[in-house]
Amino acid sequence: MAEVLLFHHAQGLTSGVRAFAETLRAAGHTVHVPDLYEGRVFDDLEDGVAHVQETGFGTIVERGRAAAEGLPAELVYVGFSLGVLPAQSLAQTRPGARGALLFHSCVPVTEFGEAWPQGVPVQIHGMDGDEYFVDEGDIEAARALVESTPDAELFLYPGKQHLFADAGLPSYTEEAAALLTQRALAFLDRVG
């Protein structure tokens, strides 16, 4: 079984993120879910984004690094949207990563180094009509990562929802979320 460090999205550590962590635990994985917002949760994505802009993206990444301290090196890093920043940063820079699952977002690998580390598998999941994923360049970063990395996969789901895998939000899309979860569990079983 895998040991996972899972980071929440811009709305905070929502009930849907917690439920996803419980699904992974129920499958036998050890899951750590730090609160990068120190208890704050936002009902609206725009309010969450405003909060992170005020806090600073660098601060969020540093809080993610701090959450990894004291944990084993052999982690799988998982991020929901904003949480992709610390997840991807750690997967690329912290030795020992077992893999990464990047949901709803992907940044160019050059953000955290020159290349994706060899031997670290990664999956990226997003909707093909999600304006954040498609229009803000995440899909191009994901495609570039897949082209340059032997064990990288990009899964696109039909639809426009951004946080479609968070069961506690109106953007939740049951069929796509179920398939994402199935693929994520198979990935964890493979790398764990």
CATH number at residue 115: 3.40.50.1820
Neighbours of 151 (CB within 10 A): 15
Give the global pTM: 0.97
Q: Which helix (H) or strand (E) holds 83?
A: none
Q: How far is CA 8 from CA 73, 95, 110, 127, 141, in A?
A: 20, 22, 22, 18, 20
List, as one string, the DSSP characters of 120-173. --EEEEEETT-HHHHHTSHHHHHHHHHHH-TTEEEEEESS--SSTT-TTSTT--
Residue 9: beta bridge partners? Answer: 12
CA 26 to chain centre: 19
Express each pLDDT in 112-161 by its tens digit.
Answer: 999 999 999 999 999 999 999 999 999 999 999 999 999 999 999 999 99
pLDDT at site 111: 96
Question: Average pLDDT, stretch 173-188?
Answer: 98
Question: Average pLDDT, stretch 49-60?
Answer: 95
Residue 59: beta bridge partners? Answer: none
pLDDT at site 20: 98
Band (189; pLDDT cuts 50, 70, 90) = very high
- The total number of residues shown for the chain amounts to 192
Mean pLDDT, all residues of the chain: 97
pLDDT at site 103: 98
Express each pLDDT in 67-121 by its tens digit.
Answer: 999 999 999 999 999 999 999 999 999 999 999 999 999 999 999 999 999 999 9
Band (29; pLDDT cuts 50, 70, 90) = very high
Structure tokens at 29: 């994985």
Residue 100: beta bridge partners? Answer: 77, 122
- CB of 160 within 8 A of CB of 131? yes
Q: Which helix (H) or strand (E) holds 120?
A: none
Burial level of 55, CB count in 10 A (0-12/13-18/19+)? middle
pLDDT at site 3: 98
Taking alpha carbons only, the member of 115, 114, 153, 132 closest to residue 49 is: 132
What domain range is 96 assigned to? 3-191
As for how many domains the chain has, the answer is 1
